[in-house]
């Protein structure tokens, strides 16, 4: 079975690297969520937990939205991809800013745990994923199977 291109209709078995990377980032964010929630609770109580939870939710949605934008734009053309990535970034940044502006005056929102969680998870997850991709020279969905998994041996 040959790999499918982005220009073909998406099926459940199609390899979509940007979606797989975004899902991997979201999955990894779930690993650090308890730590951030505990730190938010210890430093700022229930308000810290709510602020950290909002930040972690925005991070996950940002990664998923970025991947969706790339996936859909790739089906059209490289030129559309460039524009969609730029406009998508500005829109996603605007949405995050809008959310902060909407909740900043509420009693439960605390900017310090929110900002720390938002920045550390965005940068930390991207750095970890970059290392993982460059270490395997493939995104998670394309990492070649080990010879043991395919039944091949390294004998010559």
pLDDT tens profile 141-151: 555 556 665 66
* Token representation of residue 127: 């750095």
* Token representation of residue 82: 């460039």
CB atoms within 10 A of CB 139: 18
* Token representation of residue 113: 């745990």
CA distance 3 to 149: 20
- pLDDT, tens digit (0-9, with 9 covering 90-100), for 108-134: 999 999 999 999 999 998 888 877 776
| pLDDT, position 135 | 61
| pLDDT, position 137 | 57
| pLDDT, position 127 | 86
| pLDDT, position 91 | 96
* Token representation of residue 52: 């950290």
Per-residue pLDDT of the chain (156 residues; tens, 9 = 90+): 334 444 444 445 567 788 888 888 888 888 999 999 999 999 999 999 999 999 999 999 999 999 899 999 988 998 999 999 999 999 999 999 999 999 999 999 999 999 999 999 999 988 888 777 766 656 555 555 566 656 655 554
């Amino acid at each position: 079975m040959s790999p499918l291109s982005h220009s073909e209709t998406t099926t459940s078995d199609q390899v979509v690297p940007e979606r797989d990377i975004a899902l991997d980032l979201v999955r990894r964010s779930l690993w650090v969520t308890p730590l951030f929630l505990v730190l938010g609770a210890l430093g700022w109580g229930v308000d810290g937990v709510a602020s950290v939870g909002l930040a972690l939710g925005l991070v996950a949605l940002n990664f998923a939205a970025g991947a969706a934008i790339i996936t859909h734009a790739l089906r059209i053309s490289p030129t559309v991809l460039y524009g969609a990535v730029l406009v998508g970034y500005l829109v996603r940044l605007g949405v995050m800013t809008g959310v902060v502006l909407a909740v900043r005056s509420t009693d439960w929102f605390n900017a310090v745990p929110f900002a720390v969680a938002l920045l550390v998870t965005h940068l930390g997850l991207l750095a970890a994923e970059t290392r993982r991709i460059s270490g395997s020279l493939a995104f998670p969905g394309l990492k070649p199977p080990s010879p043991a998994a395919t039944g091949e041996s390294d004998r010559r």
